[in-house]
Amino acid sequence: MAKPVDEDELKRTIGPMQQSIMRQSTGNQFWMNQLDGATYEPARIAALTHLYSDISTMTAADLQATAAKYLRPDRDWTMQVVPKAK
């Protein structure tokens, strides 16, 4: 990612995510899904306690750094699905 997303675009992306978390977290199904496997992976519980604040405090620079870490051209791959030859 050559340049960070602008502030307006970031807000338009984060806002709906925040609203979704707020709505979904009022129901048991959200918590059951999020805590699935937490007995074997306790870090899930710790991560869940920061979910809303992590999303709310995300900056364009954070997003750019994460993209640079994981979206690397040297690790990119492409798959092409083609029909069987007759």
CA 43 from centroid of its chain's CA atoms? 16
* Predicted local confidence at residue 76, as pLDDT: 83
pLDDT bin (cut points 50, 70, 90) of residue 78 is confident
| Per-residue pLDDT tens over the stretch 17-75 | 999 999 999 999 999 999 998 999 989 998 999 999 999 999 999 999 998 898 888 88
* pLDDT value, residue 19: 95
* pLDDT at residue 1, rounded to an integer: 57
Amino acid occupying residue 81: V
| Tokens encoding 30 | 């959200």
- If one compares 26 and 3, the residue with the highest pLDDT of the two is 26
Q: Which residues contact 67 (CB under 8 A, 6 or more apart)?
A: 1
Q: What is the pTM of this model?
A: 0.68
**Residue carrying structure tokens 């993209």:** 67
For residue 66, which phi and psi values (nearest 5 degrees)? -65, -40
28 and 35 in contact (C-beta within 8 Å)?
no
